[in-house]
Amino acid sequence: MRPSPGHASPARRPLPVLLTLAAVLAAPLAISVASGIGCGPPKPADNVPPTSTSDAVAPDGSVSTPSDTGNPVVDAPSASTGYWPSPDAAATVPVAVVDAGPPPACWSGFKATGNAVTDVNDLGARCTKGMTPVIPPVKQSFAQGEKKQIPLIIPGPGCYRIIAVGGTGVKDVDLEVRDQSGKLVAADNTPDDIFPMIHPNKEWCPDAAQFLTLSIIVKKGTGEVAGGVWKR
């Protein structure tokens, strides 16, 4: 039976019609495939080592510890800074150096008892360690304002300690060292001091032989004063 005019045979449908039909049939499949993209758990990236501190499972089923996989176990970031601690942070912390300052003066803690000879021996023991007496401690009585002089021969370069201590009733003692022309070479004229020393914070060190005069002066009070000279 011949087909009616205007109707094409199914076997001979035009190519555009067939392509359109194929597109319509393929659309649901494309939608189904597209809807599956991004669903489910993401695929792990290649060559990314496990970040957990627990054991890692290898593709062959073996189990390795973090040390085996080369992933060190590290501490969590600092809560205060948010930064990971440096492995050698303790080694890079500078050690504080504390400067204790100069040692205390040799007379620190000394207290006069009123006995001039005992006190000058005590102060000498504190301040003349390793030194030899040149003039052993001697005692003299003084009125207020009185000055007494002692010849002092310096045989050559060396270091000395010259100390005096006032006894009961003495309120202020001064020491002076003068050369043959009367020029002041060294002194301790500290006000209201009953145990003066020439250069109290260090030894007195003349650099040549000299003929000098040591003067002991009681500025205030009356009583006994003992004094001595030591050499290193």
Q: Tell me the per-residue pLDDT of 111-134, one tens digit each, with 9 for 90 and over.
A: 999 999 999 999 999 999 999 998
Nearest to 210 by CA among 162, 141, 153: 153
Element at 170 (helix H, strand E): strand 170-178
Mean pLDDT of the chain: 75
pTM recorded for the entire structure: 0.57
Contact between 156 and 209 under an 8 Å Cβ cutoff? The reply is: yes
Residues of the chain with pLDDT under 50: 1-13, 16-41, 43-45, 48, 51-54, 67-69
Q: Tell me the per-residue pLDDT of 174-192, one tens digit each, with 9 for 90 and over.
A: 999 999 999 999 999 999 9
Chain CA centroid to CA 226, Å: 46
pLDDT of residue 103: 80
Domains and CATH numbers, the chain: 116-231 (2.60.120.380)
pLDDT of residue 200: 87
What are the CA-CA distances from residue 10 to residues 21, 22, 88, 188 (Å)? 13, 15, 83, 136
